[in-house]
Amino acid sequence: MTEKILNTRKNGLGMLFFWGLIYLLSIGLLICGGILMDEGMVLGIPVFVVGIIWVCIGWIPFLGLKLLNPGEALVLTLFGNYIGTLKGDGFYWVNPFCTAVNPAAKTKLSQSGDVDSGAKPAVMFTAQGASVNVSEAANKKISTKIMTLNNARQKINDCLGNPVEIGIAVTWRVVDTAKAVFAVDNYKEYLSLQCDTALRNIVRIYPYDVAPNIDTTGDGQADDGSLRGSSEIVASRIREEIQDKVFEAGLEVIEARITYLAYAPEIAAVMLQRQQASAIIDARKMIVDGAVGMVEMALNRLSEGGTVELDEERKAAMVSNLLVVLCGNRDAQPVVNSGSLY
């Protein structure tokens, strides 16, 4: 079903005055009919009957008055048939027997800019980041503003089997009100569920940190993709997968961002030790590489300048001493040799 915009209904103010005038005339007929009947005139009876009938039913046309603020829309049906959508701010008048439809009117997403009905909720149920407002007076207006969905954090195993806690914020809006209302049962709950499933599908492809022999792109080649180091790419893939799922619901996903990323508490301490060990190893490798270079430079300078001639045994002793000094964690205690080397 395709959205049909009703652009010729911004006549609410004129219709308000028109039906208001008709209602006042019916009151006048009621009064005139009563006066004529008191005077014994037969004409007073039909005038009085017409007046009292219109006074009883004259309020019905006022039900067709609809007021929309900027960023709001109203999906209308007439006896079960979709007749169109009021979109854009203005004061409208439609068939008073039209019914506004919004199956997600009572659903409030976490941190979303939903249209508020102004009624306080009686009970709130929370599931997958969505809460249901059990208020009887639900607003049937659909917000077309840009909104943000912040679902609950999910515990997901990455591609190495490590449990990871991750949360995302999704920026979205309704672009086709007809699809949003009629294509799915509740477009807000549908979006929330699709965000959770897309997040799980994408996170399972990546390791938390860079790992060897892991293909995250699907091209058969190992790469350096990771949740921690490739957050922009991961967020983009999550957005694309959500968009593919919610397109038929008339929703547009503008952006998806990772708001929280950490190892699950049960393995966080072990993974921290692992990261610390990796950092220490990397630091030691750098120190050893630098020390070897310095030793080579010292031996070359001594040989080129002819400062001292060292045999292989003395060179080995010198290399050992220099490496101990350069790679040690503590300051070296020098020993001054005042005698001969041999």
Residue 119 lies in a domain: no
Domain identity same for 157 and 178: yes
Query: Mean of the pLDDT values across residues 160-174?
Result: 90
pLDDT single digits (tens) 155-164: 888 888 888 8
Least confident segment among 90-99, 202-211, 289-298: 289-298
- Same-domain check for residues 162 and 68: no
* Structural domain total, the chain: 3
* CA–CA gap between residue 298 and residue 322 (Å, rounded): 9
pLDDT exceeds 80 at position 168: yes
Write the pLDDT tens digit of every residue in 47-88: 778 778 888 888 888 888 888 889 899 999 999 899 999 988
H-run or E-run covering 100 = strand 99-100
| Span 225-248, average pLDDT | 91
Same domain, 75 and 89: yes
- Does 76 map to a domain? yes
> What rounded mean pLDDT belongs to the chain?
80
- Tell whether 210 and 320 lie within a shared domain: no
Residues 6+ apart with CB under 8 A from 160: 207, 208, 211, 214
Torsions phi, psi for 78 (to 5 deg) = -125, 110
In this prediction, residue 220 carries a pLDDT of 79
Per-residue pLDDT of 82-119, as tens digits, reads 999 998 888 888 888 999 999 988 887 765 555 444 44
pLDDT given for residue 116 in this prediction:
46
Q: How far apart are the first and last CA of the chain?
A: 98
Task: Give me the pLDDT at residue 218, please.
Answer: 79
Give the pLDDT confidence score for residue 112 in this predicted structure.
Answer: 52
**Does residue 251 belong to any structural domain of this protein?**
yes
Q: Indicate if 238 and 151 belong to the same structural domain.
A: yes
Q: How far apart are CA 206 and CA 234, in angstroms?
A: 8
> Please, which pLDDT band fits residue 29 given cuts at 50, 70 and 90?
confident
When comparing pLDDT for 305 and 164, which is higher?
164
Q: Is residue 332 part of a domain?
A: no
Query: Which whole number is the average pLDDT over 141-146?
Result: 91
203 vs 126, which has greater pLDDT? 203
Predicted confidence band at 131 (pLDDT cuts at 50, 70, 90)?
very low
Single residue among 100, 122, 154 that ends a domain in this structure: 100
Instruction: Please indicate, yes or no, whether residues 180 and 257 belong to a single structural domain of this protein.
Output: yes
Same domain, 150 and 256: yes
Q: Taking 80 as the threshold, does the pLDDT of residue 24 lie above it?
A: yes
Task: Identify the residue with better confidence: 295 or 177.
Answer: 177
State the CATH number of the domain containing residue 193: 3.30.479.30
pTM of the model: 0.69
pLDDT at 4 (0 to 100): 87
pLDDT value, residue 289: 82
Q: Is the pLDDT of residue 251 over 90?
A: yes
Give the closest residue to 66 by CA, choosing from 103, 94, 98.
Answer: 94
Per the domain annotation, does 149 fall within a domain? yes
| Any domain includes 110 | no
Q: How confident is the model over 34-45, as pLDDT tens digits?
A: 777 777 676 777
Same domain? 172 vs 254: yes
How confident is the model at residue 286, as a pLDDT? 84
Q: Where among 228, 263, 298 does a domain terminate?
A: 263
Angle (deg, nearest 10), helices 312-327 and 265-305? 140
Q: What pLDDT shows up at residue 342? A: 54
Asked if 233 and 202 touch (Cβ cutoff 8 Å), the reply is no
In the prediction, which pLDDT does 46 show? 79
- Flag whether 340 is in a domain: no
- Considering the domain architecture, whether residues 322 and 276 belong to the same structural domain is answered as yes
Residues 160 and 84 in one domain: no
Mean per-residue pLDDT for 21-35?
82
Boundary (domain end) residue, out of 263, 278, 302:
263
Residue 308: which domain range? 269-327
Lowest mean pLDDT among 166-175, 195-204, 296-305, 327-336: 327-336
**Residues 274 and 248 reside in one and the same domain:** no
The pLDDT of 130-135, averaged and rounded, is 42
Are 248 and 187 contained in the same domain?
yes
Mean pLDDT of 295-318: 74
